[in-house]
Structure 1
Amino acid sequence: MIILYHCYGGSHSSIIACWIHLNKLPMDSVPDRKHIESLPLFDQLTSQDYGRIMKIGTDEFGNTICSMGVKNQKDMIIPALKDLYYEIYKNTDGFLDVDTSHAVNLTMKIGGFISRTLKLTALGRPIVALGSIKAYKNIARIVENTKKLEQQATKQTTS
């Protein structure tokens, strides 16, 4: 199975979700700002990375965990990926897309804009990290629900 977490830039909420999913960040407690800022790929992607699938790792079930920035094109990119997956595997059961953008708060948006768009990383990254801490429980809840869906899908394919 491929699990694709996606958000606007693919650099904040979806990256955090991937690391929670891979058990590299806790599900039940909130890490500090330095821990968030030190995550691989957190606040490091650029506009050239929109639409690129970033493989973050493989989870305990052997599923591929990825992140992607879809900008304002989610309604076009996700169906295209599902169609491609279908053409290759003749079903879409092994593809799960998870939108993390509804967990994003205003602090994350402002910090991400300052860091990624204005390229003022030293100013923007701490702001987006603080916003991420505020949003962390919501992101963890998305991952928790995703893992439940993943476990159900795994049970169905082994039955």
Structure 2
Amino acid sequence: MIYIYNDFGGTHTTSMAAAYHLQLLKPGKLTKKEILSVPYFNQLTKKDTGHILYHGTDDEGHPVYTIGRRNSKYVVPALTDLSGILLNRYGQEEKIIISNTSPTVPPMMTAGGFFSRELKIDWIGVPLLVKGAKQCHGLIQHLVEETKHVAASSPEQVVVLENKKYQYKMGKKDIFWK
């Protein structure tokens, strides 16, 4: 199985999802230091868009990647088609799971990413990103667990999870996905 987490910039929720998937982050409250030490967290720029970044291999031997897609609605369909082509061409039995982390992004993280990555004003952006990460870490953990569950149970070789929000309320622990 190959996991690819994706979102707009590929540097915040995707990096956290990869870190949870690889057990680099543990469940529970996160400190600022833990958040800022996540590989690639708040480190990517526009020029990194579309590049598939390797984060590591999980405890079951599955590689975990991330990609930032910006506003392009074509990245995920291209990844899906290319995955299918390669799997068919080389007769692989591998599964490829493409999971969207965008539904976990709170407004605080969006603002922080804009200030830090777009405007290069880290003294405003980074505190907002840390606060946003603390708000959404439970959602990201849940998304990773759901991604693993769907990956294990789906008969499809290429699975795209949009993870659209059904209910998302700040401060609530109840999380539902369509």
**TM-score, normalised by the number of residues in structure 2:** 0.80
Equivalences for residues 6-155 of structure 1 within 5 A: 6-26=6-26, 28-73=27-72, 75-90=73-88, 94-152=95-153
Structure-2 separation of matches of 1:78 and 1:98: 9
Count of residues in Structure 1 that have an aligned counterpart in Structure 2: 153
Query: Per-residue deviation at 1:77?
Result: 0.8
Query: Per-residue deviation at 1:97?
Result: 0.6
**TM-score, normalised by the number of residues in structure 1:** 0.89
Structure-1 separation of matches of 2:61 and 2:87: 17
Query: Per-residue deviation at 1:94?
Result: 1.2
Question: Which stretches of structure 1, 4 residues or longer, exceed 2 Å deviation after superposition?
Answer: 149-154
Structure-1 separation of matches of 2:61 and 2:93: 17
Structure 2 unaligned spans of 5+:
158-178
Query: Per-residue deviation at 1:76?
Result: 0.9
Query: Per-residue deviation at 1:123?
Result: 2.6
User: Could you list the per-position Cα deviations for residues 45-73 of structure 1 after superposition, in whole angstroms to 9, with x for gaps in the alignment?
Assistant: 00000111111011111111011111111
Query: Per-residue deviation at 1:40?
Result: 1.6
Query: Per-residue deviation at 1:93?
Result: 5.9
Decide which moves more: 122-131 or 85-94.
85-94
Q: Is the 8 A contact 1:37 1:126 kept in 2?
A: no
Structure-2 separation of matches of 1:118 and 1:2: 34
State the superposition RMSD in angstroms. 1.9
Structure 1 unaligned spans of 5+:
none
Q: Is the 8 A contact 2:2 2:94 kept in 1?
A: no
Kindly, what percent of the aligned residue pairs are identical? 34
Query: Per-residue deviation at 1:153?
Result: 5.5
More helix by share: 1
Q: Is the 8 A contact 2:112 2:126 kept in 1?
A: yes
